[in-house]
Amino acid sequence: MDSRTCAALKGSGGVKIGEKGRARSGVTTDIVREAALALAREFGPGRVTVEGISTASGVAKTTIYRRWPNAAALIMDAFLDEIGPVIAYRPTATLIGTFSNALHDLARALTPSRREMLRHLVAAAQSDPDLGAAFWENWIKPRREEALRAIQPFGVARDEGDILLDLLFGAFYYRMLIPYAAIDSEWIDGLVERVFLDDPKPATELGGRN
């Protein structure tokens, strides 16, 4: 990543003052992001190349490399820039409701093309530690913290909260990455019920613990 750009990833945002020479064009950044997303939507995020973005956007490769280290980072940046404002937690009165809302909201926000983008980002993060860190820092972590904050009032301990998140969002990502069946409302409800079950057959009835 560059110290000057990747607005969505780094905090930055502020206008650079006092730098010598020609200032970077903010418009250019947007054009490039837009082109990257468009290409990702059209051909799939895996086929997007810096070369292609350069051609499509009319922005020189040099300029792109000056701001992002590679295509995956650029796509991640563009994706987060686009989806960031879309998702927000809806706090509710109950724990189960909060999680249920969060999962349903996420499913709704992730349109097919966004879902593919996200799948690709997870994939890209597997072979690029920097990307993995950025993914954690800018996507996963903030929304986990938001979730933890949202359920704090219910008196859930930190590690208990982590386990809840791992279970519910783990299941979500699992089905997204290994799409053997659709992610639909019933399934989400089933997940939540199972985790917060108070009536279904308790484990004891199912054979007890060993």
Identity of the residue, 131 or 165, whose beta carbon is nearer to DNA in the bound complex = 131
List the Cα angle 126/11/86 in 5-degree steps. 75
84 binds a copy of itself (CB under 8 A): no
Minimum distance between the CB of residue 120 and DNA, rounded to whole angstroms? 13
Helix ranges (DSSP H) in 110-157: 112-127, 129-135, 141-151
Q: What DSSP line would sit under 71-114, residue for residue?
A: HHHHHHHHHHHHHGGG------SSHHHHHHHHHHHHHHH--HHH
State the binding string over 35-74 for DNA (x if CB under 7 A, else -).
------------x-xxxx-----xxxxxx-xxx-xxx---
Can residue 94 be called a binding residue for DNA (CB under 7 A)?
no
123 binds a copy of itself (CB under 8 A): yes
Q: Does 170 bind a copy of itself (CB under 8 A)?
A: yes
Distance CA(58)–CA(54), nearest Å, equals 6
Contact with a copy of itself (CB under 8 A): which of 111, 136, 145, 184?
Answer: 136
CA separation for the pair 193, 93 (Å, rounded): 16
- Which candidate, 147, 118, 136, 134, places its Cα nearest to that of 41? 118
> Is 109 among the residues that bind a copy of itself (CB under 8 A)?
no
76-90 burial, b for 16+ CB within 10 Å, e for fewer?
bbbbbbebeeeeeee
Instruction: Give the number of residues in contact with DNA, rule: CB under 7 A.
Output: 28
Contact residues toward a copy of itself (CB under 8 A) are: 44-47, 92-97, 100, 119-120, 122-127, 132, 135-136, 140-141, 154-156, 159-160, 162-164, 166-175, 177-181, 187, 190-191, 194-198, 202-204, 206-210
Contact residues toward DNA (CB under 7 A) are: 4, 17-25, 28, 47, 49-52, 58-63, 65-67, 69-71
